[in-house]
Structure 1
């Protein structure tokens, strides 16, 4: 997290749980966030998407509720599905 506080990252990649944790601990700022891209087409061995996996779905919703959805409502951030 110390590195994230010192630099500007133009692209970040992480699991929903890790991203939510970074946002909550002020390790990742949403101030300039323009886009969130979700890997919607990825499927596990059982052909489940991320949102269909019981362990991941609540983590994804938690991540979006950290302020990302509010930024989308305000028109500051857009969500894309890959």
Structure 2
């Protein structure tokens, strides 16, 4: 069995808890029966989606870090707001 194939279908069953975190209950997952070659194709597609998901997450993290640093710069005196005419 292709593990990325299994993980991809298991992740489709994730539920949001009351705290806003994700939990996966694999018992509720529906994993279709496929031959190994087809599982590998699905596994590759799920890996590509995981890779595509990383970029916006990293961009969001970098953006939030930049905002926090700018705020620290303003409150710490290393940055000053621009003067407007």
| TM-score, structure 2 as length reference | 0.27
Identify the structure with bigger relative contact order (alpha carbons < 8 Å, sequence gap 6+): 1
The structure with the largest alpha-carbon Rg is 2
| TM-score, structure 1 as length reference | 0.27
Task: Flag the structure with higher helix content.
Answer: 2
